[in-house]
Chain A
């Protein structure tokens, strides 16, 4: 089975801190994604990447950046954490293509609280 691992399940950070959220997948997937999930708003795409060193902005990239130096690892960076970035962060990966096999596999999520 494909495994997507997020480094932390729960994080508490202070306002203004630089925060790194790490995601690693072990099935050689080309695509990797970062979402945040908030009650009533669903999953919103922050950034995604189709290849190493490649990144694309999603729907809500402000206040975030990403890094993909290796195919298996996709990092989300909060440059200066703010309280409105308190959320559940989900990483996902998939293959490229049209088949149903190319749906997402999600990581277990990181619940970030900024105080």
Chain B
């Protein structure tokens, strides 16, 4: 079947580094996305991985291991504005049809 798991909630301190893990199972893997969602707002695109390895974009990095069905989002130099939910999503391509499967999200609280 298709499934995505990520922790429900994490807490970290301003200025610290936090790693949010995501494991997935899908038959037609076609890319993994991370989205950020502030309370009451729409998700916004953060990162995309389709090959194994680390993608770095400023304070945010995302890693993918396709053989392990595993990804993580790394946030460095945490700021208060990083308090949000982080959604892991897998794009599945089966029979030519694309489908996105979302995890339930990880709510990150950044403390002063």
| Closest beta carbon of chain A to B26's beta carbon, Å | 14
Within 8 A of A (CB), among B65-112: 87, 89, 91, 93, 97-100, 102-105
Does residue A27 face the partner (Cβ distance < 8 Å to B)?
no
CB proximity to B under 8 Å, residues A20-74: 31, 33, 35, 40-43, 45, 56
CB pair A41 B100 closer than 8 Å: no
0/1 per residue, A57-101, Cβ < 8 Å to B? 000000000000000000000000000000000100000101010
Q: Give CA–CA (A45, B91) in the complex, Å.
A: 13
Which single residue of chain B is at the shortest CB-CB distance from A31? Answer: B98
User: A109–B48 contact, CB under 8 A?
Assistant: no
Within the complex, which residue of B45, B50, B87 is in contact with A43, where a contact is CB–CB below 8 Å? B87
Q: Please, how many angstroms separate the alpha-carbon atoms of A106 and B46 in the complex?
A: 13
- Chain A residues whose CB sits within 8 angstroms of the CB of B103 once the complex forms: 42
Interface residues on B, range: 20 to 34
Expressed in whole angstroms, the minimum distance between the Cβ of A98 and any Cβ of chain B is 6
Q: Is B7 an interface residue (CB 8 A)?
A: no
Give the complex CA separation of A40 and B31 in angstroms: 24
B102's partner among A42, A98, A108 (CB-CB below 8 A) is A42
The residues in B between 9 and 68 inclusive whose CB is less than 8 angstroms from any CB of A are 30-31, 33, 35, 40-45, 48, 50
Contact status A103-B99, CB under 8 Å: no
Distance in Å: Cβ of A16 to nearest Cβ of chain B: 28
Residues of A within 8 A of B98 (CB): 31, 96
Contact B41 A45 (CB under 8 A): no
Which residues of B are interface residues toward A (Cβ below 8 A)?
Answer: 8, 30-31, 33, 35, 40-45, 48, 50, 87, 89, 91, 93, 97-100, 102-105
